[in-house]
Amino acid sequence: MSWSRFSLSSAILITMLAGAGVFAAHAQSQGEASNQDSVQNSQDQQDPLKRQLPDKERFKQQKQLHQELGTAYKKWLDQDVRWIITDSEKKAFLSLSNDEERDAFIENFWRRRNPNPDSPENEYREEHYRRIAYANEHFAAGKPGWMTDRGMIYIKYGKPDSIDSHPSGGQYERPVDEGGGETSTYPFETWHYRYLDGIGDNIDIEFVDSCMCSDYHMTIDRSEKDALLHVPNGGETLYEQMGMAKKADRFKGGLENLGPGPGSSSNQSKEFDRIELYSKLEAPPEIKFKDLSLAEFLTSKKMLPGPFFPFEVRTDFVKVTDDTVLVPITLQIKNKDITFNTKDGVSKGDVSIVGRISTITDRVVQSFEDPVEAGPYPAELLPREMAGSSLYWKAFPLRPGRYRIDIAIKDVNNPDHVGVWAQAITVPRYDDDHLATSSLILADKMERVPSKDIGAGNFIIGNTFVRPRVTTNPASPASFHRNQNLNFWMQVYNLGLDEKSKQNNAKIVYQILNATTNKSILDATEDSKRLSPNSDQLTLEKSLPLASLEPGKYIVRISVDDGVTQQQIAQSAPFTVE
């Protein structure tokens, strides 16, 4: 109950209680014990504190409560955390009735975002206020920098990886996907982020200063920076110059006024993607740790409250750029270890997962918290499903170097069932002059994905869905049934290119070996020129039916012999056939 609602309703409440007193006195003469319950029920039904208020009255109360907040709390809510507080958190804060509750709320607000909950220092909070100071210093435009769109994005997501800045506007050569041709623009900037947690990879955000007053606003319409957009015959696109379109065609509806052009069809197909992107950018960033009690297991030596909750973890490495490596992390939890709740004939299990990736100096560089749902399954099929597993997948871009991964999981339907896992990893450096490969991934499912899903979604690496088989440790063999396919995926990097032909020249050998006798069961050879002759990188994707293999232990081995650089490299992985 909020204090403001009590104040507004006090007169009504006093009148009601007075009436209730008269009624109670009369009830006592008729039999006090039998009638007191009905008096209480009548009060509950008429209690104005429990009555749903009209929107107008509710907004009025919220406004009055806002005015009652102390100056420091009001500044904290309206300025300090304006861009990062969620709607539910704001509603909860406004419902608090005293400063003691507000102080506790603020303390927990920052703790839930702290990458190291046990640390007395909160890196997130310190970085947040540093960003506010930076925004005020660099983005002010007749108003404080934190209030501008550039300030909002900087405060939420930090410094972009690169900025394409046009502070004076002027002559601009349009990219083909914007229609081509030359025009003149207002001042504008494009901020590029290689990765934003919860949003995606390769994010471009455009800001335009259409008022020429240094107040750059975020725009979803790339034509908004065109200063000649409404000037007849000015700043024509390629199609307009060739007479294949008219400038009026730009204003026939749609998200952007780019007009017909070589990339217009692809622009139309991406309109909803752009709307979704900007919706995510304007929302508060995801809270790092909603479950503080579980997050504490990442850094503390706290004893587990109940039986250990077992799970397996697999890490892989895939080159993205010269200084960035994608590190997919896959968790496997056996269904038999999860507590299922059955309701209305449907059984479902829920697991909460928190984790962090830190450097050897204990600086947190990535953190995550997500739920995993097992099921739902029809209740009568639950015993059969207990033999299966539930998978969780998350991929992080990291720079080469040494890291530590800490993960904790909790059975939501049995909160004392907690499991923890920690491991050091070394993210490899893929030097340009050394032949190298990604991890060799054995997968129970592998398939190409639609173009709209490339680079996004669970188990998607590039343009391929790759769901790895997870084992108790990297040396343990992955298990497959004879009615399944053995799918394997690997990338090869830094192949040499012949100076004259500009083509690679490598031989790839695929082998299936009997792990007991080390004899080859299958040999196949492939020429790199058949895959991608002019590239220094190859993606190897193969599927092998296992029906012809007897149950037993095997090894898949892939060897690459580069005829240009005279380098060789090989990867292998064990598996069993049941």
Check residues 302 and 213 and name the one with the higher pLDDT. Answer: 213
Model confidence at 172, pLDDT cuts 50, 70, 90, reads very high
Tens-digit pLDDT profile for residues 260-312? 777 666 665 577 778 888 888 988 987 776 666 666 666 666 667 778 889 99
CATH 2.60.40.10 corresponds to the domain 292-429: yes
Residue 419, φ and ψ in degrees, nearest 5: -130, 145
Same fold, 292-429 and 431-578: yes
Residue 149 confidence (pLDDT)? 95
Residue 78, φ and ψ in degrees, nearest 5: -85, -25
Domain boundaries, the chain: 3-111, 160-282, 292-429, 431-578
What is the average per-residue pLDDT within 368-395?
88
What is the average per-residue pLDDT within 307-329?
91
Number of Cβ within 10 Å of residue 538's Cβ equals 19
Number of Cβ within 10 Å of residue 100's Cβ equals 9
User: What's the CA gap between 367 and 387, in Å, rounded?
Assistant: 31
Residue 240 confidence (pLDDT)? 86
Specify the 3-state DSSP secondary structure of 6.
helix
Closest CA to 274 of 219, 227, 223, 216: 219
Q: What is the Cβ-side half-sphere exposure of residue 489, based on CA atoms within 13 angstroms?
A: 21
* Confidence check: pLDDT of 68 > 80: no
Model confidence at 80, pLDDT cuts 50, 70, 90, reads very high
Closest CA to 490 of 399, 569, 386, 577: 569
Check residues 122 and 472 and name the one with the higher pLDDT. Answer: 122
* Confidence check: pLDDT of 1 > 50: no
Q: Give 13's DSSP letter.
A: H
User: What's the CA gap between 448 and 82, in Å, rounded?
Assistant: 42
What is the average per-residue pLDDT within 363-383?
86
Residue 38 confidence (pLDDT)? 45
Check residues 153 and 68 and name the one with the higher pLDDT. Answer: 153
Model confidence at 49, pLDDT cuts 50, 70, 90, reads very low
User: What's the CA gap between 147 and 83, in Å, rounded?
Assistant: 9
Number of Cβ within 10 Å of residue 352's Cβ equals 20
Comparing 124-133, 436-445, 465-474, 495-504, the range with the smallest average pLDDT is 465-474
Cα 289 to Cα 411, 417, 490: the distances in Å are 16, 18, 34
CATH 2.60.40.3880 corresponds to the domain 431-578: yes
Q: Cα 65 to chain center, whole Å?
A: 35
> Is the CA virtual torsion 466, 469, 473, 476 positive or negative?
negative
Number of helices followed by number of strands (H, E) in the chain: 14, 26
Residue 46 confidence (pLDDT)? 47
Q: Model's pTM, two decimal places?
A: 0.58
What is the average per-residue pLDDT within 51-64?
58
Average pLDDT, whole number, for the chain?
Answer: 82
What is the average per-residue pLDDT within 225-229?
91
Model confidence at 18, pLDDT cuts 50, 70, 90, reads very low
Q: Give me the percent of the chain exceeding a pLDDT of 70.
A: 82
364-371 — which CB contacts under 8 Å span 24+ positions?
Answer: 364/115, 364/116, 364/123, 365/398, 365/403, 366/197, 366/396, 366/398, 367/115, 367/288, 367/289, 368/197, 368/288, 368/394, 369/287, 369/288, 369/289, 369/290, 369/291, 369/295, 370/394, 371/412
| Torsion angle, alpha carbons of 284, 289, 292, 296, to 10 | -150
Residue 300 confidence (pLDDT)? 62
How many residues belong to the chain? 578
Tens-digit pLDDT profile for residues 138-153? 999 999 999 999 999 9
Tens-digit pLDDT profile for residues 489-506? 999 999 999 889 889 999
